[in-house]
Chains A and B, each alone.
Chain A
Amino acid sequence: MNLAYYPGCALHGSSNDYEQSLRACLETLDVQLKEIDDWICCGATAAHSLNQKLAIALPARNLALAEDEGYQQMLAPCPMCSMQLLKARKALVEDEALRRRMSEIVELEVRGDTQVLNLIQVFEAIGLDRLKAAVKAPLGSICAACYYGCLLTRPASVAEFDDCEQPRSMEKILEALGGKTVDWNYRTECCGAGMTMANEQTVLDLSHKILSNAAAHGANCLVVACPMCHVNLDMKQPAIERHYGVRHEMPIYYLSDVVGLALGFKPEALGIDRHFVCSADPAPGGVSTSDAGPARRGTGATGKV
């Protein structure tokens, strides 16, 4: 499979561990990624909060660049980016006048015919059977709360992916890799998103609820497919623990981390040792049992998970 690749700013910045693990997985699974030449930021929440025209134009430029390179499909592993790209694509396809105007604004003809995929969809396209066949280290000790957050499935009319209230696509992948998953209540609740800097309390409150609910349902880790969710749940977890006076000690894995572990990669090869919750105090042995509740801090940095 050949895909255009739109990393977005996060995966080339503070979420470069996500890029490390997804590149490792996809290379092993014969998916070739071609990074879009001279891509620009999608504008994220800032653009759609302050300038609706810019919120279409910035992703439109990236769609046009991918189209120019002749790709039918592009991977945007960050749900913020993929949602902005999908929204722009939908608007351009539905409104010919807008499409022409945007082509002038971004100085490239944009058609909107490149399909935008999130990382889960790429794993689905590879196929659960192929994933299963490639497993070298089944995820026997993983009991994951799969966390989708907001933009993978919402708004449903744009995302057109999975069930927006009860998504199951990540669970199916985890189970194909030999892992267990839990039923829990916060799988599509918001973690606080881009409020991390400007309104930290929002992130502490919302992410605390997510971590607490996952633990209460017996999960020993969370699996996410979003760099922003990872920042709020992993990097901010010590701040959440200080604020609420609790110990969550809940490892947060990217979907590509757990796929990579099942494919036989060492945690360091996937960047798991660079997570906040998993990187301190590495203890040998990893997560012991699936019903042991929240894992100890640092378990992710060891060989067995």
Chain B
Amino acid sequence: MKSENVVLNSSSVVPLVESLAHTRICDCYQCGKCTAGCPMAAGMDIPPTRLIRLLQLGHADRALQAQAIWQCVSCQTCATRCPKSVDCAGVMDALRQLSAERGVATPKQQRTMLFQKAFLKNIRRNGRLNELELIGEFKFSTFLHDRSLSFLFKDATLAPELMKRKKFHLVGEKAHNRAVVARIFARCMDNSPS
């Protein structure tokens, strides 16, 4: 990744990450325990220890564009094992949020981001998750992005299997007070850290 490709002011990002994750990046002394326990580290472009190091050195732009932040499965092993109590999983969350908000998420991991976005859109509208709608909306938004017909119809054969087992409902549940859910979303989407 080119270092001159600065998409945002790195110096402002690190305090924001720390505030969103309620943790101190400078506490990390690079022992590598987070990466050692990470089930995804082997396939990551930048493993957790190095992501934290990039933030310490002020290269937040590179951290925000890393595939790794969207490969992370939020298993919490890194945060649990950190001898310095750095909430590495929380840092991953903060980086995902900032990367999505600023539109700098890596193109290679768009599906994961589109899934999370479709999920939130669905519960914003229904109050509860409607799985069938979510899958439809996720597949559609992904198709618009990558035009992959094979991905669009992948898993289609699971639908009848799930219906046979009465695990799939054509009409999903909704919360009654959806107006309050919409207001909660509106109040939380004003971009200021909680």
Q: Report A's interface with B, CB cutoff 8 A.
A: 9-10, 12-17, 38-41, 43-58, 61, 98, 101-102, 105-107, 150-151, 154-156, 164, 188-190, 192-195, 197-200, 202, 206, 235, 274-276, 279
Query: In the complex, A13→B18 CA distance in Å?
Result: 36
Query: In the complex, A206→B21 CA distance in Å?
Result: 26
Quick one: which of B15-67 are within 8 Å of A by CB? 20-21, 39-40
In-complex Cβ contact of B97 among A39, A52, A156, A194 (8 A): A52
Query: In the complex, A269→B56 CA distance in Å?
Result: 55
Residue of B nearest to A199 (CB): B112
Check if B111 sits within 8 Å of A49, measured CB to CB.
Answer: no
Q: A40-B175, A40-B181, A46-B116 are in contact. Are A197 and B135 (CB under 8 A)?
A: yes
Q: Report B's interface with A, CB cutoff 8 A.
A: 20-21, 39-40, 71, 73-77, 79-80, 87, 89, 93-94, 96-97, 100, 111-112, 114-117, 119-120, 123, 127-131, 135, 138, 154-155, 158, 161-162, 165-169, 172-173, 175-177, 180-181, 183-185, 187-189, 192-194
Query: In the complex, A16→B166 CA distance in Å?
Result: 8
Check if A279 sits within 8 Å of B165, measured CB to CB.
Answer: yes
Q: How far is the CB of B7 from chain A (nearest CB, A)?
A: 19
Q: A48-B74, A150-B75, A198-B111 are in contact. Are A14 and B168 (CB under 8 A)?
A: yes
Check if A12 sits within 8 Å of B128, measured CB to CB.
Answer: yes
**Given A50-B117, A197-B135, list of 10 further CB < 8 A pairs?**
A12-B173, A46-B115, A52-B20, A54-B184, A56-B194, A61-B180, A98-B194, A105-B188, A202-B73, A274-B166
In-complex Cβ contact of A40 among B123, B130, B188 (8 A): B123
Check if B175 sits within 8 Å of A154, measured CB to CB.
Answer: no
Check if A38 sits within 8 Å of B176, measured CB to CB.
Answer: yes
